Structure 1
Amino acid sequence: MFFEVSVNLLNKKPSITDIYPPNGDSDRNSDAWLPMEKTKRVFFVTKLSNTPDLEMLTMPGVLLEEDIEDEMGEPIIVCCKEAKAGCKRGSLTAGLSPTERRLRELIQVGAYGAAINHTAALLALYGQGRGKQGHRTTHSPQSLQIWYIRIALLVKIKSFAVAQAEAQPFSQLEKPDIFYQYYPELYGNRTGSMASFNFRLLLAELPMICGKPKDSLRKLFCIWATIKRMLKNLKQGLCEDGSSSISDTDKTNSLKLWTIRESKVMYSIVNCSCSIKDYALAIEMLVHLCERDGAPKHVLLSALGRLHLQTGNISDAEVCFNESSHCGSNSVRGLVDKGLLAIAQNNYEEAYVCFQQANCLDPSNIMILNNMSVSLFHAGQTKEAIAVLESAISSKPVGGVHESLILNLCTLYDMQSSRGIMKKFALLRQMSKYSADAPTTILEKLYG
């Protein structure tokens, strides 16, 4: 079929809280990480007031030389100019100095290109701006958080080449100047990683995002191995690095935090396995996740069933969906599972009814509407399929600007008539009223 029904529940849309963690996220247990042996040796050298070799240091710098919006091309600028001129968010860009608060505002309104430009200005204040890659620098939790935001936003707009090039100096965040121990004059005896766990996970997932999933799989398993060592230390009553004992309260809190983070890594391994079609590994990981204490079994069993659908194993998918229902799967999820199973059995009318019922219970779920459109299309009702997506976008102009949904609508326009290009331009103008930047894949759809 021309586009797939979404079956992977393990990815979620990034939110502002992913980029700006809540207060308290810089506690000892959150910062903990086990440095490699060669990194520990550099800490010892630093205490002796010696300077390590430059290749042991992280020396990042901004590489993108021009504003992001300039790369969109004249046709898109012309197309969106009118809508952008009347948009209230224009007042957000006037006369403000580069601040993290300003960066937060740009991300919240979806002005990702402007936000990326803003990170360059912020990093210049830390001596890590344009032309500074390869120069010695001093890191801080704040500067590393801005780098995390910048690379995440470059991925968001699918500027993968720049994201890879700017991420390269960070490697796997194992170099000594990423740790507090490297700066005893600033942080005393504080230990751990100044880079957030989210940044570490993003760098591990970046090769997969850029089409090299096997590299990501290797990095993810390295992270998982480190977390297992930390959890082993914690279960023995020691702190994460095994250097000293901790209180029962600290032990409980740390075990909870790192067990959750271990699950995140396992979810990433599932997604990475699916991207290389290693479904056996993906299924094995999901089974392990289901067996963990406190795991949301109904969600995981539903995901496992959808993975079985991807492999064409309809009978096992049905078993998983039934188990998910018995574990307390809500009615919406159960209806969606039933609809997906009906699609796999080529019963598009029944699938549409299931998705329609799910939509009545959860009208805010855009992907349910997308699946309704899929069912209508395969039932030979192209006009009705288009109407569902157009209605979703017009009635939910913010939530409806979903990349998969927009791409599906563009594809349907192409299939319906030769006038599809005009409809796509109208769609782009509508999008620009509610999201500052059009997704790159949409632009490729228009001009590819």
Structure 2
Amino acid sequence: MTNNPKGLSEYFANDPPSFFDELTNPKPREPQSEPEVNKPKTNMLASTFTGRYQPPEYVETADDAEEPIKVNDEVRNLWPSPAEQGKTGTGAPTHLVMPGLHIANDLPDPIGVAVNQHLGEAELLQRKILGVEDVTQDERGIRQLINAGCFRAAVNLTGRLLTIYGQGYGRSGQPAKHSPHSLQLWFTRLALLAKLGEYELLQAEAEPFGQLNALDVFYEFYPEMYSGKQGSIASFSFRLLLSEMPIYLGKPHLALDNLSKLHVISSEIKQHYEKSRNGNASEFWQRRSERVLHSIINCALMMKKYSMIDDIMGGMLLTRSSLTKEEQRSLYSAWGRIYLQIGDIFGAEQKFAVARRLREINTAPDLRDLVDKGLIAVAKNDFPEAYLIFQKALHLDSGNTMILNNMGVCLLYAGKLKDAINLYERAINLNPQKSLNESLLVNLSTLYELESNNSKVKKLNLLRLINRFKPDLNISVEICLKLQATN
């Protein structure tokens, strides 16, 4: 872990989903769902349906792959020290980072609790998931738990390892020494808490870190341990997570302030390497700077600052001469989907048209083209046509739950309730581990209620599947399945 400062960030840096996640790696993967309160809101379909139903999804996320440009630690870790920040007038901080766990016990398993309440102990015995005791007590164990989707168990393991570092329960406010390994453990823990929607605990445990500008998160603070080494001990992904954190707490204006500062420093570092004619390092920091801009656009979308989005997209992201045609195409496609989110169909069609022209000549429409076209059809309330388009897209990426979910939405609004239910049920039966995601579960539970007043039996069958195939959900089972919690 210490040899790879990015480490486990590939699993979490894109939470919550961004319109730009797919730019890091063109290979599609399953979209990560997040609590509905954090989704950019859309008025689409609101006039025809008032239930708790997820509208068509716009975002296809992708693995946040290892950074494609390889650089040495000096380039990767470069960040202005507290003393340098003081020279620029921002004020050199004098405090130290003294974190600690805010819970004494492990996070519970809410799915297991719900199964025990609604289905009983016999069904709970069918729940076979990895626990902390089932893996090695190190970062390899954390990776194993994360790969298995056991995020709460991974949080619990980070707690054990941080306790070994003297940063366990009750240690907040007490002096601590930091290393790349300990700070990566904290980054992993906080990113997992964000993913799981544990925002109260996230806020409490992240508070001591501030924006990672304290003296003791730089190598210079430990000359006896890191002789001559300079730069940030904390990873850039950790800084980005802390800057984005107010988004999870419903405070995008604070996140926008944090991210703007992060972007300024990232751009200054990029310019530093441009002046020294280090093109590889300059490109590395250019990409980091652009990743911050992606997050800024997500904040602007939540705050309805649409002119800011246009300024960044057209004036900053798309002006770089070194962009490949595929990178340009991805950006125009993302821009078009943003226009759809704000209800500007004509503007979206214009951006999608540019994206199509950037595709290789004489090639058939690919997944991006089809999803863009399908979303336009949905926006025009042509649900039968949208369904056919998404169906073609599904042939290119079978099992893509974003596409399946949108197909179900189209069937519902085309008046084919039973067909929508059958589609979701077939998807779950064919691949329960992938298809039992939050958006699809919310939608299917809503369809069950529309179909019959006696929907509880079917919802409990879904709970049985969740019990057997899902280690964790990002929102509570009761919300997902619209079940009444029992006392």
Short-chain TM bin: 0.7 to 0.9
Q: What is the aligned counterpart of 1:31 among 56, 59, 77?
A: 77
Residue 411 of structure 1: how far off its partner (Å): 2.1
Distance in 1, matches of 2:108 and 2:474, equals 12
Distance 1:30 1:171 in 2: 21
State the alpha-carbon separation in 1 of the partners of residues 240 and 190 from structure 2: 12
> In the alignment, what sits opposite 2:55?
4
Q: Is the 8 A contact 1:206 1:216 kept in 2?
A: yes
* Partner SS for 1:66: coil
Deviation of 1:72 (Å): 6.2
Find out whether 1:290 has 2:318 as its counterpart.
yes
Partner SS for 1:172: coil
Q: Find the aligned partners of 1:125 and 1:217 in 2 and give their Cα distance.
A: 35
Residue 241 of structure 1: aligned partner: none
Deviations 1:345-394 (A, max 9, x none): 11111111111111112213211111111111111111111211222222
| Aligned pairs for 1:15-94 within 5 A | 27-37=73-83, 56-69=95-108, 74-78=113-117, 79=119, 85-86=125-126, 89-90=129-130, 93-94=132-133
| 2:389 alignment partner, one of 354, 368, 371 | 354
Give 1:387's match in structure 2, choosing from 398, 413, 422: 422
**Deviation readout 1:88-140 (Å, 9 max, x if unpaired):** 545x6546562111111111111111111111100001000000000000000
Aligned 8 A contact 2:110 2:477 in 1? no
Describe the shift of the 1:96–1:109 C-alpha distance in structure 2 as closer, same or farther (beyond 3 A). closer
Offset of residue 84 of structure 1: 6.1
Aligned partner (choices 284, 299, 305) of residue 278 of structure 1 = 305
Which segments of 5 or more consecutive residues in structure 2 lack a partner in the other structure? 1-44, 46-52
Match of 1:324 in 2: 355
Q: CA deviation at 1:340?
A: 0.9
| Whole-angstrom distance in 2 between the partners of 1:81 and 1:254 | 57
* Distance in structure 1 (CA, Å) of the matches to 2:81 and 2:294: 24
Report if the CA contact (8 A) 2:333-2:352 is conserved: yes
CA contact (8 A) 2:220 2:228 kept: yes
Q: Which moved more, 1:115-124 or 1:59-68?
A: 59-68
TM-score normalised by the chain length of structure 1: 0.86
TM-score by length of 2: 0.80
Partner Cα distance (2:472, 2:137) in 1: 20
Higher relative contact order (CA 8 A, sep 6+): 2
Specify the SS of the correspondent of 1:446.
Answer: coil
Identity of aligned residues (%): 36
Task: Give, in whole Å, the separation in 2 of the partners of 1:95 and 1:235.
Answer: 49
User: 2:296: which partner in 1?
Assistant: 269
- Is the contact made by 1:181 and 1:190 (CA closer than 8 Å) also made in structure 2? yes
Distance 1:359 1:291 in 2: 33
| Residues 411 and 420, structure 2, Cα contact 8 Å, conserved in 1 | yes
Q: Given the alignment, which residue of 324, 330, 333 partners 1:302? A: 333
The aligned amino acid for 1:217 is L
Unaligned stretches of 5+ in structure 1? 42-51, 238-247
Gap change, CA 1:401 and 1:74, over 3 Å in 2: closer
Cα drift, residue 29 of structure 1: 1.0
Richer in helix (by share): 1
Is 1:396 the counterpart of 2:431 in the alignment? yes
1:397–1:312 CA distance, 2 compared to 1 (3 A): same
Partner of 2:49: none
How far has the Cα of 1:419 moved from its partner? 2.6
State the one-letter code of the partner of 1:4.
P
Alignment of 1:144-223 (within 5 A): 144-223=183-262
Counterpart of 1:372 in structure 2 is: 407
Structure 2 residue corresponding to 1:410, chosen from 439, 442, 445: 445
Q: Partner of 1:184: helix, strand, or coil?
A: coil
Deviation of 1:263 (Å)? 1.3
Q: Decide whether the 8 Å contact of 1:58 with 1:178 is kept in 2.
A: yes
